[in-house]
Amino acid sequence: MPQRDPQQRRAYDKHYREQHRERHRVVNREYSKTHRKYLSAQRQLQRQRNPALANLNREKERMRHYHQQKPAFYYELFSKQNGRCAICGVPSAHLKVDHDHKTGCLRGLLCHSCNVGISWFQDNPMLLKNAASYLSQEPKGNGYAQLLLEL
């Protein structure tokens, strides 16, 4: 067993894990069952110490579970967007994965506000265009005071 050269050691460890994969799964499963409370407390402590990392880990799991994408795909999107929301451009460590609900295709990473905003408009581009044109209109009169006078 090579122990001195780190590269050889990594190769040996990889080979060993491949040869004993099922045994390690059983041992890890049993350890998780018997140490559930301890592991849960450790995860909680880790999330408290580094909330940004905890969020990245949650998003990695969502990518893997819901979108059948590897965690590296999340980091790739994150780096392409420079850690910024695809809509508002605000930098954030808490970017959420946005996807089309009809097709399931991923669109990008959004901050919480933009993600919720899109969902309120039911992912409908026409509603968003109408909202944008409404917001760009010049206000008429004195706003609320004018409305009260008309009543």
Residue 36 CA to residue 65 CA, distance in Å, equals 22
The answer to whether residue 68 is domain-embedded is yes
Whether 25 maps to a domain, the answer reads no
Number of domains into which the chain is organized: 1
Q: Would residue 7 count as lying in a domain? A: no
Residue with tokens 């999330």: 47
Reported as a single tens digit per residue, the pLDDT across 19-74 is: 999 998 999 999 999 999 999 999 888 888 887 777 777 777 777 766 667 767 77
pLDDT digits (tens, 9 = 90+) for 60-90: 777 776 666 776 777 888 889 998 999 999 9
Residue 61 confidence (pLDDT): 76
Whether 22 maps to a domain, the answer reads: no
Q: Give the separation between CA 123 and CA 107, rounded to whole angstroms.
A: 12
Residue span of the structural domain in which 99 resides: 35-150
* Partners of 99 in beta bridges: 106
Tell me, yes or no, whether 88 lies in a domain.
yes
> Mean of the per-residue pLDDT values for the chain?
82
